[in-house]
Structure 1
Amino acid sequence: MKTLLQVDGLKVHFPIKRGVLGRTVGYVYAVDDVSFTLRQGETLGLVGESGCGKTTTGLGVLRLIPTTSGRILYNGQDITRLKAQELRRLRREMQIVFQDPYSSLNPRMTVNQILADPLDTFGLYRGRERSERIAFLLEKVGLSPEHGRRYPHEFSGGQRQRIGIARALALDPKIVIGDEPVSALDVSIQAQIINLLLDLQREFGLSYILIAHDLAVVEYICDRVAVMYLGKIVEMGTYEQIYNDPKHPYTEALLSAVPVPNPKATRHRILLQGDVPSPIHPPAGCHFHPRCPKRLDICDKERPPLKTLAGDHQVRCFLHS
């Protein structure tokens, strides 16, 4: 498959400013040297605990926040240093579905106005064509054209997320980033939205980056999975490699917490000690070593590289050096 997106050494560091003059006294290392690729028609999952840098990575890829260093290649073009006007032309190619389907929709606008807004911004579709386009988008996400006259507060959470998906599809994007798109929904509604995303992917050839903490959802929808911890990818591979043969102790701990839909099944729960360290002062050596049940003497002194194992399976751990 064609590589649509390539991220090399992405870093997003937020300055900490103090005093009347706003001196920079430190940095929040939100994303620290993240690299991955996204192929056409593929779904890549970004998973990890809250605060690990998943959402910041997605926003950085979309250039919605400034990046500190690294390259973001879209169709071979480096978009990291593009000016605003050049970047605006690429906005049609990459869209996002936000976590909260209510706060991401303007409560003062009808659904028709919400879906027409991106079309007006890029001068697409006029008059009757625009009405037909909006009706087409609503039908594709399981709503009817009559819903276009309503306001967001008149819909359920699942319906509002369908509207958010329709808005993301309005400009015929190639890449859609889902920032925990089902975490705010009931379990039964989550399944409907996930199946909708899969249907749309097959129909329009979309590539997804799915940001999530629910590993059961990720296993169902993703082709490859990248596990993040404190701003770094610690393991990456196909979902079969990650779920059936995890190599990093952090991945093993995450998977041990996934509920098993069998009351008779037993699973050894791995309980990590301590809290996630501060991204302002990350630990020396391996970032995970203060909580790692398998740490070695070298782990607190050197940072492990991301090593490639069999196939595309990669892990950042001295246990596999």
Structure 2
Amino acid sequence: MLSAERIKHEARSLGFDAVGIISLRQDPSEHGAPQRLRRLQEWLQRGYHASMSWMERDPARRADPGRILPGCRSIICVAMNYNTGHRPTEGPGLGRIARYAWGKDYHGVMESRLRQLEAMILEQVPDTRTRVYVDTGPIMEKSLAQQAGIGWIGKHSNLVSSDHGSWLLLGEILTTLELPGDEPGTDLCGSCSLCIKACPTGAISEPYVVDARRCISYLTIEYRGDRESIPDDLASAIGNHIFGCDDCLDVCPFNLRADPSVHAEFLPQPGTLAPRLDELTDFTEARFAETFHSSPLKRAKHAGLMRNAAIAQDNESRAS
């Protein structure tokens, strides 16, 4: 019988910085599915998902992994630390990119390791069924990671680990293999509200709840509208952010004391620490595709990054 300890050892040997397991029993209430569904439905009803319409598709399935993989008995949750300890370069004419996008695209980095872990499980237990996700499937990753004991969901709605802070990328293996579960993570945010105060747009509408319509990460990555469709107050608050935003993470005490990542894949690629706005606005679609083919920045698409760089330039000119 393949043990949970063997799986965790293999996960760490593959480079995952944290691993935890959720045991799913027949009653979904034992693994938090009803609570996840209720929170998701409340969030959707407020319209906080903005234009991300895929979040509305079958919320009950999104909240309950047992509906995704019939017969699912366990979820193996993993995480990798992406903060290499570098600092963004600030200065005239420079944009700001979120840390997770400085290196290679984490989807490929993590999925290749998860596939190796999956292969080991299938080799040891050939009759089990599995499904692998890295920020791509209809599951609520942060809630599952908390349930698996990797950390807790902070007031900025990101996962926080007492060892790694919020600089974690998440992945999962759903499996019909029955494994013992870990204790859920305990919320250690206490009375701290630094992340809420740090948000430039007030997107954290209340502790643990983010309104994507006002979130800089959403506006600079997921939103496909042009500059004219972004309210002036939000465009101004974007500042020099051209892809994502770390402002709520930068102030978290757990992030300030977290150890840097050892993964070379997440080291900054050329131009990510100090992207020149004037150079970016000259990018053709072909140059954009060539430069960012292995980068998370491709998510914004050429039009989105050009829009963001133009907003940052306009904000700088207004401030000078």
With the length of structure 2 as denominator, give the TM-score of the two structures.
0.24
Rg comparison, structure with higher value: 1
Asked which structure has the greater RCO (Cα within 8 Å, sep 6+), the reply is: 2
Greater fraction of residues in strand: 1
TM-score when normalising by structure 1 = 0.24
Higher helix share: 2
